[in-house]
Amino acid sequence: MKSIQIMPLRLRCFRASIHRYLRDVRGTNLIGDDVFRRSNQTYNGMLRSIGDSFGYRAITASDMDKLCGYFDKSNPQKLQDEIFFLVMYHFGFRGRESIRALKKSDLIVSSENGVKCVDLVKDGAEKTITERDWTDGKQFRLFATDDARCPVAAVEMYLSKVPQQVSVLFPKPLKIKPGSENW
């Protein structure tokens, strides 16, 4: 049998649900009664030993292969999906507000030591931080690779396909017929 790791927040929610049920149905206070003092001490000690959270597991190589199998550059929607994934995965944006605020001009294709890269030059507020410090030494870049799934080539193609008069990074893509040259 596999061991299941439960995050502390989930345990607290389970305990609160049980407490509410017992309080409403039987009038028993699971958290405050002296009868449950030892169990509460054990519970709190267990929470301390677990820690705050486990975080999310990293995307495995096989999962990444599945995702990349979906992405192709055959139509505008799939290309836009790929760019959206690259921005979310590599630059780590949270929330719709941050994504909507992105402009085409926020992604800059440049070269560093002869290797093409895509820089994110974006100012603005994050969802959890009042203001992000873009000069803290972190690298917000995508680097070119030598395979067919090169992220820089995908970004270059996407930026060339988005109409000049559109400033947002993710406009609604046109619906096209299969095999059509129009984007």
Q: Exposure pattern of 134-173 as b/e (b: 16+ CB <10 Å)?
A: eeeeeeebbebeeeeebbbbbbbebbeebeeeeeebbeeb
Q: Where are the beta strands (DSSP E) in 32-176?
A: 107-112, 115-120, 141-143
**What is the predicted pLDDT for the residue at 181?**
62
* d(C-alpha 8, C-alpha 164), whole Å: 49
pLDDT digits (tens, 9 = 90+) for 21-67: 988 888 888 888 889 899 889 888 888 887 765 566 778 889 988 98
**What is the predicted pLDDT for the residue at 81?**
92
Kindly list the domain boundaries of the chain, sorted by start residue: 8-50, 61-161
* d(C-alpha 183, C-alpha 176), whole Å: 7
**What is the predicted pLDDT for the residue at 126?**
47
pLDDT digits (tens, 9 = 90+) for 79-102: 999 999 988 888 876 667 778 888
Instruction: Give the residue with greater pLDDT, 98 vs 15.
Output: 15
Q: Model-level pTM?
A: 0.61
